[in-house]
């Protein structure tokens, strides 16, 4: 194994000089820099992460807590993760994967053992049980999602309340009076996942404000689930002319089943989806949608984490405004 001392010897300087060349925390003559860099390359030197962490109390690792529930939309989660890894790597940070299963103890372990410097937590619940631990850890933390009581923790998410409002307003403006909300899986509601409730709130408030009629139900992520949803919904209110789909996992099934029932989209039933743009456009009819900006959110989450690592930062809740793109499924 090549150590900093090997490099120092090869370059004819002291270990500390090599360290300073690497960190740039001290002025080094160009000539010395060159010699050191060259020795580093020649020897194939890689600074030992453990030693570095020990001496500097910095691991350059961010722990990422992600959900693995099947009822969640994996493609979206993956998009998040993908952009986060990229963003983190672009700043010299690595990502450590944790699951929700580890619970509060897992968070404590990772921070206590100095495995990671910071935490990004996805799949936040309204009454998020990990908040006390997170707060007590006093480490840079970013929640993707907004709990009811963030306790001075930094949060970032799409403004789902506004998204709910946006979809309803769009449909109301088009003249729809009876609309249905196809919500996430019941299990998502059961565990109080924050975005589900927030979207529903925006939806309901706007329905009331505009004097519309609406029904809403969760939907099990399967074809039978969609069938059940439609049966239930259309029976409850046969005059429904529009569906808001806040459940990407069943978008395809929904459209397929609606068409199969002889209903034309958008003539008989208009559809607005809440999902990433590429998914909205991959259906047999391009869907009007409120996009879930997974990439933006992911990048933002990492940036907000890095800012906290750089120094104290005021806690904030950052909500991205929803954007609705009109396509062929509404008229």
Positive or negative torsion for Cα 17, 22, 27, 32: positive
One residue of 28, 96, 212, 263 binding a copy of itself per CB under 8 A: 96
CB of 99 to a copy of itself, least distance (A): 5
Give the helix ranges, DSSP H, for the chain: 4-11, 15-23, 30-43, 49-56, 74-90, 103-112, 131-137, 160-173, 186-190, 194-209, 223-236, 251-260, 277-281, 294-310
Decide: 4 and 40 in contact? Cβ < 8 Å: no
- Stretch 56-85: interaction string toward DNA, x if CB under 7 A: x-----------------------------
Half-sphere exposure of 22 (CA within 13 A, CB side): 17
**Partners of residue 125 on adjacent β-strands:** 193
Which CB, 77 or 174, lies closer to a copy of itself? 77
| Residue among 272, 276, 213 at smallest CA distance from 244 | 272
74 binds a copy of itself (CB under 8 A): yes
Q: Which residues are within 8 A (CB) of 6 and not within 5 positions of it... i.e. 6 or more apart?
A: 43, 45
One residue of 37, 86, 169, 204 binding a copy of itself per CB under 8 A: 86
Q: Which option in DNA, a copy of itself, none does residue 104 bind, with CB closer than 5 to 8 A by kind?
A: none
Q: Which option in DNA, a copy of itself, none does residue 3 bind, with CB closer than 5 to 8 A by kind?
A: DNA
Decide: 49 and 59 in contact? Cβ < 8 Å: yes
Q: Which stretch binds DNA (CB under 7 A): 51-59, 178-186, 196-204, 240-248?
A: 51-59
Q: Which option in a copy of itself, DNA, none does residue 232 bind, with CB closer than 5 to 8 A by kind?
A: none
Which CB, 15 or 192, lies closer to DNA? 15
Q: Which stretch binds a copy of itself (CB under 8 A): 8-16, 255-263, 294-302, 307-315?
A: 255-263
Q: Footprint of DNA on this chain (CB under 7 A)?
A: 1-5, 12-17, 19-20, 22-23, 25-29, 31-32, 45-48, 51-52, 54-56
């Amino acid at each position: 194994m090549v150590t900093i001392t090997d490099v120092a010897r090869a370059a004819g300087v002291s270990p500390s000089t090599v360290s300073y060349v690497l960190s740039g925390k001290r002025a080094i003559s160009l000539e010395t820099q060159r010699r050191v860099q060259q020795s580093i390359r020649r020897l194939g030197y890689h600074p030992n992460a453990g030693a570095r962490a020990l001496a500097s109390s910095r691991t350059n690792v961010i722990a990422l807590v992600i959900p693995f529930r099947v009822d969640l939309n994996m493609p979206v989660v993956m998009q998040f993760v993908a952009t986060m890894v990229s963003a983190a790597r672009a700043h010299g940070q690595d990502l450590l994967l944790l699951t929700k299963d580890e619970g509060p103890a897992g968070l404590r372990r990772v921070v206590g053992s100095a495995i990671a410097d910071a935490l990004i937590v996805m799949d936040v619940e309204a009454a998020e049980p990990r908040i006390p631990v997170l707060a007590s850890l006093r480490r840079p933390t970013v929640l993707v999602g907004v709990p009811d009581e963030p306790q001075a923790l930094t949060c970032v998410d799409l403004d789902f309340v506004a998204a709910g409002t946006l979809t309803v307003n769009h449909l109301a403006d088009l003249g729809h009076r009876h609309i249905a909300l196809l919500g996430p899986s019941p299990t998502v509601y059961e565990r109080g996942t924050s975005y589900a409730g927030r979207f529903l709130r925006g939806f309901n408030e706007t329905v009331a404000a505009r004097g519309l009629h609406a029904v809403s139900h969760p939907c099990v992520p399967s074809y039978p689930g969609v069938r059940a949803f439609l049966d239930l919904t259309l029976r409850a209110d046969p005059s429904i002319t529009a569906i808001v789909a806040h459940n990407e996992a069943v978008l395809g099934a929904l459209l397929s089943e609606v068409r199969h029932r002889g209903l034309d989209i958008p003539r008989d039933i208009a559809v607005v989806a809440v999902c990433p743009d590429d998914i909205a456009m991959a259906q047999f009819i391009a869907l009007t949608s409120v996009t879930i900006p997974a990439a933006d959110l992911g990048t933002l989450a990492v940036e907000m984490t890095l800012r906290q690592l750089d120094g104290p930062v005021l806690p904030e809740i950052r909500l991205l405004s929803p954007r609705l793109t009109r396509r062929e499924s509404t008229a």
